[in-house]
Structure 1
Amino acid sequence: MAILSDYEEDQQNQQPSSSKKEIILAEKEAEAKKPEEKEEEEEKQQKEKKLVPNKENGLDMENYSWGQSLQEVTVNVPVPQGTKSSLLLCDIKTNSLKVGLKGQPPIIDGELFKPVKVDDCIWSLEDKKMITILICKRDQSEWWKSLLKGDPEIDTQKAEPEPSKLSDLDSETRSAVEKMMFDQRQKQKGLPTSDEIQKEELMKQFMAQNPNMKFPPGAKFM
């Protein structure tokens, strides 16, 4: 025969605690959110994780720093004063980079953010205290978010190309870069990108050519 205290304890065990109720409610609210809202939240979270680039459009890491133009990436690695080039290890491959002192753990070792032109890459020892590496990008119309995959990423929308460098690009690459720069400025201002503007113009032309057709409010070309 169960006594009253046992019955009350069973009832309490069956009822979820306040913290459990809060978790259940939070899960239901998350499930109820629209896919668009989830995408916006994920995009916002990703953007908040990105870092502001340094003056060279790269990032200052603990043991080295890197910067970039649209064509090249420059890496500076400090080494002990008086280091000889014969003691250095600098292995540049299409998709990876390994730098350091022979016989010691590498200072840089990992997969590059994007493929490079190995034959056009060079490195040198400056004043016996700094390894300077010049890496030639294979795709010269895109900013790198990091030197190595998995490293902290920069906000590429805040990267600033040198205007004088644009004249060195071929017409096709230059057009792509100018379009990218325009779209970045538009996004920062909350304005439509070049593709969105083009779609809006096409929609206006189509509506003008078909005045008898009814279009729902806010109709857009996909």
Structure 2
Amino acid sequence: MTTPKDYDKMTEAERDAYDKEQRKREEAEQAALPYEWKQTLQDVDITVPIPKGTRARQLDIKIEKKHLKAGFKGQEPIMDGELCALIQVDDSVWLIDNDELHIHLEKFNKMEWWKNVLTHHPAIDTTKIQPENSKLSDLDGETRSMVEKMMFDQRQKAAGLPTSDELKKQEALRKFQAQHPEMDFSNVKFQ
């Protein structure tokens, strides 16, 4: 198994070849699963092929905080095991559409990528995930203001200018100086 240290020692061409080989292996492992899945930071969507005409009452589906079971009543489950991470059960649902069972799992921690759906299934390399671009307008108010602040700070640093936190400290110092003109502030340094 290649360690991160070994990977760092590879040439760019060796890394590309290694990554391509790993992607191929990963794709084969994922294709062998009895379901397909995709994820965003917020949720996981699973698609399981089922015979046409299947009715909900024929299925045995259990969605729990850390466990998922899906299959036909009286038969070996198609999926049964511990989930990779916790989910929000109340916001997770399943439905039948034509010849597919769709299971939507709402992640509990919306800031992490899952390496697999069930812990005993093959893992993917989450460091290679390329998330879709999102728009600032897609974000809620608090997250949007945090991202805008981070973007501002990044631009300020790139231009060699003070970040928003440094600007706040400078403003606080100016106010304090105005209130205490008798004090010497010549040696003040910001960290």
Q: Per the shorter chain, which TM-score range?
A: 0.5 to 0.7
From 112, 115, 122, the equivalent of 1:145 is 115
Relative distance call for 1:168 and 1:41 in structure 2 (3 A) is same
Give the aligned partner of residue 175 of structure 2.
none
CA distance in 2, matches of 1:43, 1:132: 40
- In structure 1, stretches of 5+ residues that fail to align are 1-37, 180-222
Give the aligned partner of residue 71 of structure 1.
42
Aligned pair count reads 134
User: Percent same amino acid among aligned pairs?
Assistant: 35
CA contact (8 A) 1:123 1:134 kept: yes
Q: Which residue type is aligned with residue 144 of structure 1?
A: W
Give the aligned partner of residue 178 of structure 2.
none
Relative distance call for 1:40 and 1:70 in structure 2 (3 A) is same
Q: Which residue type is aligned with residue 113 of structure 1?
A: C
- The yes-or-no answer on 1:119 pairing with 2:90 is yes
Deviation, 1:172, is 8.2
Query: What aligned pairs does 1:72-221 form with structure 2 within 5 A after superposition?
Result: 72-127=43-98, 129-164=99-134, 167-168=138-139, 170-171=142-143, 175=147
Q: Scaled by the length of structure 1, what TM-score is found? A: 0.51
- In structure 2, stretches of 5+ residues that fail to align are 10-17, 152-191
Give the aligned partner of residue 190 of structure 1.
none
CA contact (8 A) 1:94 1:116 kept: yes
Q: 3-state DSSP class of the match of 1:164?
A: coil
Q: Which residue type is aligned with residue 5 of structure 2?
A: E
Q: Scaled by the length of structure 2, what TM-score is found? A: 0.59
Q: 3-state DSSP class of the match of 1:70?
A: coil
Please give the per-residue CA displacement for 1:154-197, whole angstroms capped at 9, x wherever unaligned: 1112212222266335428975xx99xxxxxxxxxxxxxxxxxx
CA distance in 2, matches of 1:84, 1:100: 12
RMSD: 3.4
CA distance in 2, matches of 1:114, 1:173: 28
